[in-house]
Every structure is written in C-alpha cells, then in structure tokens.
Structure 1
Amino acid sequence: METIRGVLLDIDGVLHVSMQPIEGAAEALRWLEQQGYRYAFVTNTTTMARPTLAQRLQAIGLPVSAEQLITAPVATAAYLRHAYPGKRCWLLSKGDTAADFAGVELVEPGSSGAEHVDVVVIGGAEELLSYENMNRAFRLLMAGADLVAMHKNLYWRVSDGLRLDSGPFVSALELASDKQAVIIGKPERAFFAEAVRLLGTEPEETLMVGDDLVNDVQGARRAGLRALLVCTGKHGPDTPLLRECPPEERPEALLPSVAALPDYLAGQS
C-alpha cells in the first residue's frame, strides 16, 4: 500500500458541527502541517464564498486558509465557464457564493420565469427552495434551460439534529422536467480528481477524511483514493449504509473523530 502523502478533509461534521469545533480538530491540522503532509479541505458547503468560509473557520480556532478550500461553488463556476461560456445562468443558492462566479453571467428571472435562461444552477438554497422558486426553475427547464447542481446531498447534521439538503429538490426537478442534472461536487469523480491535482499527489497516496459514507468515502474510493470515516457527523458505525457498502468502497478505518487522525497516520508510516 502506498505511503500517504496527501490528506483531504471534509469540513462540516469533521472539523465542526454547527460551527462548534470538534475537540482536537485544530491540533490535528497543526500536526499535519508540522509533519509535512500536503492537505486541503473539500466541501459541498455552498452558502459561503471561500474567503468568508475561511474567516468563519478561523474565528472558531481552525487554521484554514481560503487557498486550501476546494468548494462546490468554485468547482461549479469553473464548469460553467468551460461548458457554458457567455450563457445566462440563474443561480439559486443562499449566501455570498456569487462572489465565486466571476466570469459567469448571472441573471434573475422574473416571477413568471419567462425571461431566457440557459442554465438553472442549484446550490445550498435552504429556505430559498420555496414552491415559487421551484416552480420558476421547473418552468425554465421546460423552456429549454439545462440543470446544474453543486451537489445532491440529501441531508446534513446540525446541533439540533439532521437537516434536509438540496438533493431531494434537485431530484424533484429532474423528475418533473425529465432532465438529468449535471452534478459537480462530491461524490463526483471529477471533483476528487481536481482536488488531488491541486494537492500535487497521486490518488493512491491521498487519504480522504469524511463523515459522509456516500459523498466522502465512497466518492473518494471510486476515484482511487484511500478513505477514513469519522463518527462525529452524518454517519457512524451503526449506519445501515455501512453494512450495505461494497468492500472496495468501504472506509479503511473508522475513527471516533478527526482528533485520532495523527495517531492513525503515525501508525501507517
């Protein structure tokens, strides 16, 4: 087995839950730095631009820079610039992520949705996924627009429990419009390939650390990476998904939290 040289870490559920840092997370990141590992953060978080997210994480004591963040909005914007140059895009996403879409023509359709739009882009819209906006997106798709989604997550964990994500809404639009969305973020193979490229490592020497068995672990394994599951977020040792997971897509270990990562890596060397 290849020596691990690079580490990719999910953020929500791995480093913090509802912006409350996981005990030992900051120390684990500093250990990676001291030991010379190449590492970055890969996240389907879609409600904050990279500088905003970095500032929020720094404010709770996590040493994360904007340059280390590989986010679904950044990857989506890169895809739109390449696949739809000069096309009109309606971005339905909460927060300041529009700042990541420099070079993409963003438009706001009227209440009827009658204005021409080439692409409907769905991010982490939360309360913006109202009936009115979903119906507007549906009408635009029926009028010829394509559908692009930053991810298809079903739910995530916050301090008071699980919360519905945008994936079910994307599926509803696919079903109603009979169109297939292009999905950009985790667990897509291209997302992990880009992250590994930015790290400057090979997939087989890169470890993904996540709390989501499907988006983090299985996505990484399908892209040729190694993967660990931490039990502080969405999935843990009792999740039925783990029992159903094919052997080649299972995590190589389950850790109680990211705080145990240094000991795990030290045992691999």
Structure 2
Amino acid sequence: MDDFLNVDGVLFDLDGTLISGGQALPWAHDLIDASRGNFAIVTNDAEHTAFEIAILMDQLGFAVAEERIVTAGMAAIRMVAEKMPGAQIAMAASESLQEYARSLGLNISRERPDVVLIGRDRTFSYDTIQSAANSVLAGAQLVVCNPDRTHPGRGGSIVPETGALVAAILACTGPVPHQIVGKPEPGIFLAGAQLLGTSPNRTLMVGDNPETDGKGAMRAGMTFLKIG
C-alpha cells in the first residue's frame, strides 16, 4: 500500500474495485483503511443515486456518506440542469435518477425534448431506441452518462451498461455529436478531488479499468493504481 503514503486523498472506483455483484470484494476493507479516512467514491454508476449507493455500502459494512459519492448519472443530470435550466429532457434512466432530475427543475418528456439523456435503464426497449434516435435526429442534444458497455457482475458474469444502450441508438442515427460525462472524462475525477479538498497531483485514483479509471486519472493529473 505504498502508493497511499504519498498522496493526500484517495478516489475509489466502485464496481470491480470495492464491490462486484452487490458484494464486497475481499480487499475492499483493506483499501479503504489504507486511505486513512480521506477518500471518496467516483463511479460510472448511471442507475443509482449517491443515497442508494451509501445504503448499499452501509449494508456491506462500509461507512460512506452520500456526500462522498460522485456518480456519473447524477453528474450528467446536474450538468444539464446547470447549462439548460428547466429543459425538456427525455431520459432512459432509473426512476430514482428521473426523480433527481425533477428535483433540479428539469421536465421529463419524450415530446420534442431539448436533451436525450442515456443512463443504465433496465426497461430499455425498441420504443426507447426509436424515440431517442428520432429526437436526436430532430436536434436534441445527446448526453451519455458513461461509455461503459458492461461492468463486472457476480461470478464473472457481465452486466450490460450505458454504452451498450447508446450503441443501439447510434446504430440508428449514425455518428452524431454527443457528450460523455462519466469516466474517462476528467470532470468527474476533479469533482471527487474537490470533495476531498486535494489537488489532482496529490490524489490517487484506485480502479480496475485502465481504459476508464486509468485514462481519466491521467487526464485529470492524478496517479492511478490498478486493482484486480
């Protein structure tokens, strides 16, 4: 754990780093202990709110305040609310994220939306693809919570992710401009460092995926430690 000694704060990925399939990984408690208490979770989760993740972590024996959890789904919604207050937004996302969007003053509707936002939607369907693709072709901005096609599931299985859903839409629209909010984009890493009160060059990012955790940490000016 020497990597933890030369930094002021630690950011942890969630799936594949601390948990997998809703269960704590064997090394998770040791990793959090090594952070000496100054840590946050930065996750590409595009289904749950920070509150829901905090409850899960508590059930697994980790005390993590929801204020110390940065999720790609919530970050994407906040970005839309800040840039386009009161916007009409079509969402492929969980009910809890839709409720979060409403709490920020966004209007959820598939009728002529200003924005199409794609998260991890377990009810994703043919109708969703058709509606989202046509809205984007009509001029709606496409916002993607994360580019991940899968994340690790229980027993070595894979869990379809946001990137897989977006791929279906882009297969219909062809290449169109779209904004990715989650890892490997640096903004979500910098938000985590801001929570810790640490500068990027004194912040360690711990994750299992070099393509998202590693590249994003490098773009944000952080050190990366691969786990798993």
What TM-score does the superposition give when structure 1 sets the normalisation length? 0.77
Deviations 1:215-236 (A, max 9, x none): 11111112210001111xxxxx
Q: Does 1:159 align with 2:165?
A: no
TM-aligned CA deviation for residue 129 of structure 1: 2.3
Distance 2:120 2:62 in 1: 23
Contact kept in structure 2, 1:91 and 1:123, CA below 8 Å: yes
Distance 1:120 1:53 in 2: 25
Distance 2:152 2:50 in 1: 21
Counterpart of 1:68? 68
Residues 1-269 of structure 1 mapped to structure 2, 5 A cutoff: 3-32=6-35, 35=36, 37-101=37-101, 102-109=103-110, 115-125=111-121, 127-160=122-155, 161-177=157-173, 178-231=175-228
Distance 2:222 2:71 in 1: 18
Distance 1:137 1:208 in 2: 34
Deviating 4+ runs (over 3 angstroms): none
- Structure (1 or 2) with the larger CA radius of gyration: 1
Distance 1:203 1:31 in 2: 19
Contact kept in structure 1, 2:73 and 2:97, CA below 8 Å: yes
Unaligned runs of 5+ in 2: none
Distance 1:31 1:152 in 2: 30
TM-aligned CA deviation for residue 11 of structure 1: 1.0
Unaligned runs of 5+ in 1: 110-114, 232-269
Distance 1:135 1:46 in 2: 21
Distance 1:183 1:53 in 2: 22
Identity %: 28
TM-aligned CA deviation for residue 164 of structure 1: 2.5
CA shift in 2, pair 1:27/1:63, >3 Å: farther
What TM-score does the superposition give when structure 2 sets the normalisation length? 0.89
Distance 2:168 2:177 in 1: 11
Distance 1:70 1:208 in 2: 13
Contact kept in structure 2, 1:87 and 1:118, CA below 8 Å: yes
Number of residue pairs matched? 222
CA shift in 2, pair 1:93/1:42, >3 Å: same
Contact kept in structure 2, 1:196 and 1:202, CA below 8 Å: yes
Two-structure CA RMSD over aligned residues (Å): 2.0
Structure 2 counterpart of 1:176, one-letter code: C
